[in-house]
Amino acid sequence: MSTIVALSTPRGRGALAVIRLSGPTAIEIAAQMSGLRDLEPRKAKLAKLNRERQVIDEVILTCFVAPNSMTGEDVVEISCHGSPAVVRQIIDRTLDLGAVLAGPGEFTLRALSNGKINLAQAEAIRDLISAQTDAAVKQATRQINGELSQALDPFKEKLVEVIVLLESALEFVEDDLPAPRVNAIEQMLGSVTAGVEKLSASYSSGRLLQDGVRVTISGRPNVGKSSLFNVLVAHERAIVTEIPGTTRDTLSEAIDLGGIPVILTDTAGVRETSDDIETLGIERTHRALSDADLVLVVLDGGDEVGPADRDLLSHTAESRRLIVMNKCDLPTFRGADSCLGVGQTINVSARTGEGLDGLRQAILESLNSAGIDDQGLLITNVRHYDLLCRTKQEVELALAAFHDRHSEEVVLVPLHNALKYLGQITGETTTEDILSEIFATFCIGK
């Protein structure tokens, strides 16, 4: 097994950078670079790193001895000054001393293969690294801490309990075992389907935290959509990195709105161009509207509500939407026309920035009421979602078979499948585990 090295903090200039070494020669490499042979586990130590008798940097070395480290191997963390040149020199030096550059996710992979973390945690680490906003980070952190596994454990335990009851009834027919109670088994399986369903339902929110909430600004020409778009993008913190799955061919910008990643799309500029492009633009607008998690319908508060406005209002009546009355700074601003019958509206001025905080608040409230918030554990990974759905399906099959009084070996087929699916999130339950549980539960042995 090789010793791997990588920069663990983001690339670029910063006050500090952390370089991590992991593998059998990690401590030896650190010793050779620093001249320190007496590194104590888990004690930070000030050191000068040398290359050809020249000091590269003054750093803090912290070593972790296997198996008590993040990867389960010997690990050394080098906190150096955050200059790209320094980082490059230190990494070059470790390469000279036999380390190899880590492949993507290799630290996590090693932690996974050394049993330091389970698959769900590994995936959560990946999510954390690519997480865009505080709320997404919070979700990823929760999963690293095993919260997803913890949330699933009770269901897994119940499944195992039922499997143990049914397997022992089959396997140890000559032993003096108590007969499994039908009601208890149905109840346990019922609680598993309910719980798994609840968790998998959180994916609709979790997905948004991971991929971004799509908020689309729509309105007839000249109501100030683009101004609103621009002012919102300027007002909120822009997310610079690409969010996977979004295209930037339309006017889209990713922003961090109170911790929730939002992909803001402007459907502006459709009417002003030629006919062909107009058709294309309308199509695009319709697609953006139907894809949107939230539509901002912008009306000109200084103008009459015209037929185009009414069309749009009826078109979006079924969508989650906010009605935004722009141009509230104008003296001619009339506010919401009560005869519109669209309920509450939000007054803003894209030009002066007036009312933007209120809009932001309204957007967040609207998302929260849709269940999109950072409270509670959410499923953010499509693989997890898929596995939870399958789990639920299998348990339902088992319940039906059990209800129809099928023999245990038949009921057990979907139960084992369900356990396998859950195990793909939290780690496998082996036949050996089940047998151990049987022998711990019942006195077996003719």
444 forms part of the interface with other proteins (CB under 8 A): yes
What is the secondary structure of 321-364 as a DSSP string? Answer: EEEEEE-TTSTT-----GGG----EEE--TTT-TTHHHHHHHHH
How far apart CA 337 and CA 26 sit, in angstroms, is: 70
Instruction: Pick between residue 355 and residue 423 the one whose CB is nearest to other proteins.
Output: 423
Q: CB–CB of 3/23 below 8 Å?
A: yes
φ/ψ of residue 261, rounded to 5: -70, 125
Of 91, 72, 85, 110, the closest CA to residue 8 belongs to 91
Closest CB 154 distance from other proteins, rounded Å? 23
Name residue 319's amino acid: S
Among 170, 238, 308, 400, binds other proteins (CB under 8 A): 170
Closest CB 114 distance from other proteins, rounded Å? 9
Tokens 């610079």 appear where?
A: 240
Instruction: Pick between residue 70 and residue 270 the one whose CB is nearest to other proteins.
Output: 70
Q: CB–CB of 371/204 below 8 Å?
A: yes
Contacts of other proteins in 403-432 (CB under 8 A) = 404-410, 413, 416, 428, 431-432
How far apart CA 123 and CA 212 sit, in angstroms, is: 18
Among 10, 52, 55, 176, binds other proteins (CB under 8 A): 176
Instruction: Pick between residue 8 and residue 89 the one whose CB is nearest to other proteins.
Output: 8
435 forms part of the interface with other proteins (CB under 8 A): yes
Name residue 338's amino acid: S
How far apart CA 264 and CA 445 sit, in angstroms, is: 66
Name residue 248's amino acid: R
Among 167, 211, 236, 266, binds other proteins (CB under 8 A): 167
Among 134, 157, 161, 171, binds other proteins (CB under 8 A): 171
397 forms part of the interface with other proteins (CB under 8 A): no
Instruction: Pick between residue 136 and residue 165 the one whose CB is nearest to other proteins.
Output: 165
179 forms part of the interface with other proteins (CB under 8 A): no
342 forms part of the interface with other proteins (CB under 8 A): no
Q: CB–CB of 89/102 below 8 Å?
A: no
Of 297, 118, 158, 148, the closest CA to residue 224 belongs to 297
443 forms part of the interface with other proteins (CB under 8 A): yes
Number of residues that bind other proteins (CB under 8 A): 36
109 forms part of the interface with other proteins (CB under 8 A): yes
Closest CB 211 distance from other proteins, rounded Å? 25
Summarize as ranges the residues that interact with other proteins (CB under 8 A): 1-2, 4, 103, 106, 109-110, 113, 167, 170-176, 404-410, 413, 416, 428, 431-432, 434-436, 439, 443-446
